[in-house]
Amino acid sequence: MSDMEIYVDNLAAMQIHNMNKYIEFTRAKLQEKGTSTTDHYMKTLEAATIKEDDYFANLLGSDIAGIAKDIKEAHKKDSNTGNDTTEVDEIEEAFEQIQKTDNATQAQMIMYSKMFKINFTKMEPYEFKTFTEILQRYSDAFKVPKGNGRGKRK
Protein backbone atom coordinates (compact mmCIF):
# COMPACT_ATOMS: atom_id res chain seq x y z
CA MET A 1 0.00 0.00 0.00
CA SER A 2 2.88 2.42 0.66
CA ASP A 3 4.10 1.91 -2.93
CA MET A 4 0.64 2.99 -4.10
CA GLU A 5 0.76 6.09 -1.87
CA ILE A 6 4.22 7.03 -3.18
CA TYR A 7 2.91 6.79 -6.74
CA VAL A 8 -0.28 8.73 -6.07
CA ASP A 9 1.48 11.55 -4.20
CA ASN A 10 3.94 11.93 -7.12
CA LEU A 11 6.90 12.41 -4.78
CA ALA A 12 9.06 9.64 -6.24
CA ALA A 13 8.10 10.75 -9.75
CA MET A 14 9.44 14.24 -9.00
CA GLN A 15 12.81 12.76 -8.07
CA ILE A 16 12.82 10.48 -11.11
CA HIS A 17 12.11 13.54 -13.26
CA ASN A 18 14.98 15.47 -11.60
CA MET A 19 17.38 12.56 -12.08
CA ASN A 20 16.38 12.17 -15.73
CA LYS A 21 16.91 15.91 -16.26
CA TYR A 22 20.40 15.62 -14.78
CA ILE A 23 21.23 12.66 -17.02
CA GLU A 24 19.84 14.54 -20.03
CA PHE A 25 21.96 17.60 -19.12
CA THR A 26 25.10 15.45 -18.76
CA ARG A 27 24.52 13.79 -22.14
CA ALA A 28 24.01 17.20 -23.79
CA LYS A 29 27.26 18.51 -22.28
CA LEU A 30 29.15 15.44 -23.49
CA GLN A 31 27.68 15.88 -26.98
CA GLU A 32 28.79 19.54 -26.96
CA LYS A 33 32.32 18.29 -26.26
CA GLY A 34 32.11 16.08 -29.35
CA THR A 35 31.34 12.73 -27.74
CA SER A 36 29.64 10.37 -30.19
CA THR A 37 26.16 9.08 -29.40
CA THR A 38 27.52 5.56 -29.93
CA ASP A 39 30.13 6.04 -27.19
CA HIS A 40 29.98 3.53 -24.31
CA TYR A 41 29.36 6.24 -21.69
CA MET A 42 26.67 7.93 -23.79
CA LYS A 43 24.89 4.60 -24.17
CA THR A 44 25.21 4.01 -20.42
CA LEU A 45 23.64 7.40 -19.67
CA GLU A 46 20.86 6.66 -22.14
CA ALA A 47 20.16 3.34 -20.42
CA ALA A 48 20.19 5.05 -17.00
CA THR A 49 17.12 7.12 -17.86
CA ILE A 50 14.13 5.81 -15.92
CA LYS A 51 10.71 5.75 -17.53
CA GLU A 52 8.32 6.66 -14.72
CA ASP A 53 5.40 4.59 -16.02
CA ASP A 54 7.56 1.50 -16.53
CA TYR A 55 9.08 1.84 -13.07
CA PHE A 56 5.71 2.01 -11.32
CA ALA A 57 4.14 -0.65 -13.55
CA ASN A 58 6.85 -3.06 -12.45
CA LEU A 59 6.57 -1.93 -8.84
CA LEU A 60 2.80 -2.07 -8.51
CA GLY A 61 1.94 -4.62 -11.13
CA SER A 62 0.20 -3.91 -14.38
CA ASP A 63 -3.18 -4.98 -12.99
CA ILE A 64 -3.40 -2.04 -10.57
CA ALA A 65 -1.42 0.57 -12.55
CA GLY A 66 -4.58 1.80 -14.30
CA ILE A 67 -6.37 2.26 -10.98
CA ALA A 68 -3.39 4.12 -9.54
CA LYS A 69 -3.26 6.51 -12.53
CA ASP A 70 -6.93 7.40 -12.02
CA ILE A 71 -6.36 8.06 -8.32
CA LYS A 72 -3.27 10.15 -9.09
CA GLU A 73 -5.23 12.29 -11.55
CA ALA A 74 -8.08 12.74 -9.06
CA HIS A 75 -5.65 13.93 -6.35
CA LYS A 76 -3.56 16.22 -8.56
CA LYS A 77 -4.79 19.41 -6.86
CA ASP A 78 -4.46 18.19 -3.26
CA SER A 79 -2.27 20.37 -1.05
CA ASN A 80 -0.03 17.45 -0.04
CA THR A 81 0.53 16.19 -3.60
CA GLY A 82 3.76 16.87 -5.51
CA ASN A 83 3.62 19.10 -8.57
CA ASP A 84 4.32 18.05 -12.14
CA THR A 85 6.65 21.05 -12.31
CA THR A 86 9.66 20.71 -10.02
CA GLU A 87 11.86 23.40 -8.51
CA VAL A 88 14.53 22.56 -11.08
CA ASP A 89 12.06 23.32 -13.88
CA GLU A 90 11.08 26.63 -12.24
CA ILE A 91 14.71 27.69 -11.78
CA GLU A 92 15.52 26.74 -15.36
CA GLU A 93 12.53 28.76 -16.62
CA ALA A 94 13.53 31.79 -14.49
CA PHE A 95 17.10 31.71 -15.83
CA GLU A 96 15.82 31.54 -19.41
CA GLN A 97 13.51 34.52 -18.80
CA ILE A 98 16.29 36.55 -17.15
CA GLN A 99 18.64 35.86 -20.07
CA LYS A 100 16.04 37.26 -22.49
CA THR A 101 15.68 40.57 -20.62
CA ASP A 102 16.99 43.84 -22.00
CA ASN A 103 18.11 45.40 -18.73
CA ALA A 104 18.84 44.75 -15.06
CA THR A 105 15.50 46.21 -13.90
CA GLN A 106 13.54 43.68 -15.95
CA ALA A 107 15.73 40.86 -14.64
CA GLN A 108 15.17 42.05 -11.06
CA MET A 109 11.40 42.19 -11.60
CA ILE A 110 11.41 38.62 -12.91
CA MET A 111 13.34 37.51 -9.80
CA TYR A 112 10.87 39.31 -7.50
CA SER A 113 7.95 37.86 -9.44
CA LYS A 114 9.27 34.31 -8.98
CA MET A 115 10.29 34.88 -5.35
CA PHE A 116 6.97 36.37 -4.22
CA LYS A 117 4.80 34.53 -6.79
CA ILE A 118 3.33 37.84 -7.92
CA ASN A 119 2.51 38.68 -11.52
CA PHE A 120 3.81 42.24 -11.71
CA THR A 121 2.36 42.74 -15.19
CA LYS A 122 -1.12 42.75 -13.63
CA MET A 123 -0.19 45.54 -11.18
CA GLU A 124 -0.97 49.15 -11.83
CA PRO A 125 2.15 51.34 -11.98
CA TYR A 126 1.30 53.06 -8.68
CA GLU A 127 0.81 49.66 -6.97
CA PHE A 128 4.19 48.48 -8.18
CA LYS A 129 5.85 51.73 -7.03
CA THR A 130 4.22 51.40 -3.59
CA PHE A 131 5.28 47.75 -3.37
CA THR A 132 8.93 48.54 -4.13
CA GLU A 133 8.92 51.47 -1.69
CA ILE A 134 7.60 49.20 1.09
CA LEU A 135 10.31 46.62 0.33
CA GLN A 136 13.04 49.25 0.36
CA ARG A 137 11.80 50.79 3.59
CA TYR A 138 11.06 47.70 5.69
CA SER A 139 12.99 44.75 4.27
CA ASP A 140 16.65 44.29 5.19
CA ALA A 141 17.11 42.24 2.02
CA PHE A 142 16.37 45.27 -0.17
CA LYS A 143 18.22 48.01 1.72
CA VAL A 144 21.12 49.67 -0.03
CA PRO A 145 24.35 49.11 1.93
CA LYS A 146 25.76 52.23 3.58
CA GLY A 147 29.27 53.50 2.95
CA ASN A 148 31.37 53.98 -0.10
CA GLY A 149 32.79 50.46 -0.20
CA ARG A 150 36.31 51.44 0.89
CA GLY A 151 36.24 49.63 4.23
CA LYS A 152 36.41 50.90 7.81
CA ARG A 153 38.05 54.16 8.81
CA LYS A 154 41.17 53.87 10.89
Q: What is the pLDDT of residues 60-74, one digit of tens each?
A: 786 677 788 888 888
Which pLDDT score, from 0 to 100, does residue 145 have? 61
CA distance 37 to 68: 36
**pLDDT of the residue at 39:** 93
Please report, rounded to a whole number, the percentage of residues in the chain having pLDDT higher than 70.
Answer: 88
Closest-CA residue to 132 (of 114, 105, 97, 93): 105
**Greater pLDDT, 125 or 149:** 125
> Residue 28 has what pLDDT?
94
Residue 30 scores a pLDDT above 80: yes
Q: Which residues contact 118 (CB under 8 A, 6 or more apart)?
A: 112
Residues 51 and 42: their CA atoms lie apart, in Å, by: 17
- Cα 7 from chain centroid? 20
Distance separating alpha carbons of residues 116 and 137, to the nearest angstrom? 17
Residue 110 in contact with residue 98, Cβ under 8 Å?
yes
pLDDT in tens, 95-143: 888 888 887 767 777 777 777 788 877 878 888 788 878 877 887 766 6
pLDDT of 26 over the 90 cut? yes
pLDDT score of 34 more than 60: yes
Average pLDDT over residues 79-93: 80
Nearest to 120 by CA among 97, 96, 144: 97
Q: Cβ neighbours of residue 39 under 8 Å, at least 6 residues apart?
A: 30
- Residue 35 is predicted with a pLDDT of 92
32 pLDDT exceeds 70? yes
Distance CA(126)–CA(122), nearest Å, equals 12
Percent of the chain with pLDDT over 90: 23
Angle between helices 52-60 and 2-9 (to 10 degrees): 160
Task: Please tell me the pTM assigned to this model.
Answer: 0.44
